[in-house]
Amino acid sequence: MSDLYIVDQPALTAFCASLHGVSWLALDTEFVREQTYYPQLGLIQIASADQIASIDPLALPSLDPLLERLYDPTIIKLLHAGQQDLEIFFHRCGAVPAPIFDTQLAALVLGQGEQIGYAPLVRQMLGVELDKAHTRADWRHRPLEPEWLRYAADDVRYLPELYRQQRAALEERHWLDALAEDFQRLCHPDRYRVQPWESWRRIREHPRLHGVQRSVLRALAAWREEQASLHDRPRRWILDDATLLDLARRMPKTFEELQLIRSLPLVMAQQHGETLLARIATARAEPAERWPTRVSRAPLTSDQAVRVDHLLTQIAAQANQHHIPLRSVTNRKEVERWLAGEDSPLCHGWRAALIGQELQASLCSDPRC
């Protein structure tokens, strides 16, 4: 397999022409995002059956020939833990390259490891030890060192063989179509679209807030998301989660009260205090029916609780048989949702395949299952 480093347009055009008619391409990217909201693309690696190309997006006037191949729906894109790679293309092109096959998700389903890294998976399946010394490299640096390029090429060099072996194992279990549903979800635009009004849900401690406090947190988190995306800065550089939670709990009404929030930097209070107070006041004025709330349901009867325990035991046995951690399959709340006839991950994709049709048919009353 030959390795290419592509830094000029004719070379990119020739390489992409050589990919005509392929059924799959291995894809990886190198990027930096420690100081930005959006990932800063530094390199794109592509592998076919006989070539590996490390493509320099900073040197090329246009990536159009490559994008034409990546967005070809007849070509499967092979990735490992590819969500951030897909995010780069979504923000660049407004859509995600599809269809995909993610070897990290396939590894989970095949009992090869939960959220296993690329290097450990290559070691486990292929017996090859990869050098990961350049994981934290600044890929915007030029010129790229030869050892950096070798490292980058290795990130796609072994994806085709991982794919071949994993696909065969999934076909043997008759799970390939089920997992394809999960791959399709990884390509859904809502996963990558900036949605400020939903960003409060990512704040780990939000369940500790109640009533109007959640409304305030939602408004403040939306403002932070808007600022971070507008100025291309990490969220924590605008306000960290702890400060948002403090503001939502105490809901200051005046600048003097705002200054009592010790976690709020003085410069932030001075520059954006009026905006923060206005957002808080608007959120507090919302009617209660518009406050974010948890989905509540009637407490389980003793018989229902026993049934949930029984189901968890059955699912755990199925998961253990395939060396999949139960926590990656489901939890007690999801089983309760499932029994209540609500839509649940247990009704879809590889989880439905794992649980089995007989259990699905007997217990899932939701017609979407």
Which residues contact residue 348 at a Cβ distance below 8 angstroms, ignoring those fewer than 6 apart?
Answer: 181, 182, 369
CA 23/CA 312 separation, integer angstroms: 40
Q: pLDDT value at position 368?
A: 36
Whether 217 and 279 have beta carbons less than 8 Å apart is answered as no
Q: Which two tokens stand for residue 239?
A: 């306000």
Domain with CATH 1.10.150.80 in the chain: 196-290
What is the CB-side half-sphere exposure of residue 37 using CA atoms within 13 A? 18
Q: pLDDT value at position 2?
A: 82
Q: pLDDT value at position 367?
A: 41
Sign, Cα dihedral of 56, 60, 64, 66: negative
CA 95/CA 189 separation, integer angstroms: 7
CA 158/CA 117 separation, integer angstroms: 13
Q: pLDDT value at position 198?
A: 95
Q: pLDDT value at position 293?
A: 80
Q: pLDDT value at position 295?
A: 63
Q: Where are the alpha helices (DSSP H) in 99-158?
A: 103-109, 118-126, 146-157
Strands 51-55 and 40-47: antiparallel
- DSSP for 181-220, please give it: HHHHHHT-GGGTS--GGGGGGGSTTGGG--THHHHHHHHH
**Strands of 76-79's sheet in order across:** 2-6, 51-55, 40-47, 24-32, 76-79, 100-102
CA 138/CA 118 separation, integer angstroms: 20
Q: pLDDT value at position 364?
A: 53
Return the H-helix or E-strand segment holding 84. Answer: helix 83-93
| Superfamily of chain region 2-191 | Ribonuclease H-like superfamily/Ribonuclease H (3.30.420.10)
Domain with CATH 3.30.420.10 in the chain: 2-191
Cα separations in angstroms, 160 against 14, 143, 147, 306: 22, 28, 22, 46
CA 43/CA 7 separation, integer angstroms: 10
Q: pLDDT value at position 296?
A: 66
292: left (phi over 0), alpha (psi -120 to 50) or beta: beta
User: Exposure pattern of 99-113 as b/e (b: 16+ CB <10 Å)?
Assistant: bbbbbbbbbbbbebb
Q: pLDDT value at position 365?
A: 45
Q: In this structure, which CATH number among 3.40.50.2300, 3.30.70.120, 1.20.1250.20, 1.10.150.80 belongs to the domain 196-290?
A: 1.10.150.80
pLDDT tens digit at each of 369 positions of the chain:
789 999 999 999 999 999 999 999 999 999 999 999 999 999 999 999 999 999 999 999 999 999 999 999 999 999 999 999 999 999 999 999 999 999 999 999 999 999 999 999 999 999 999 987 777 788 999 999 999 999 999 999 999 999 999 999 999 999 999 999 999 999 999 999 999 999 999 999 999 999 999 999 999 999 999 999 999 999 999 999 999 999 999 999 999 999 999 999 999 999 999 999 999 999 999 999 999 986 667 788 888 888 889 889 999 999 999 999 999 999 998 988 888 778 889 889 999 999 887 677 656 543 434
CA 176/CA 178 separation, integer angstroms: 5
Whether 298 and 341 have beta carbons less than 8 Å apart is answered as no
Please, what is the angle between helix 146-157 and helix 159-173, to 10°?
20
Cα separations in angstroms, 68 against 13, 73, 194: 11, 10, 25
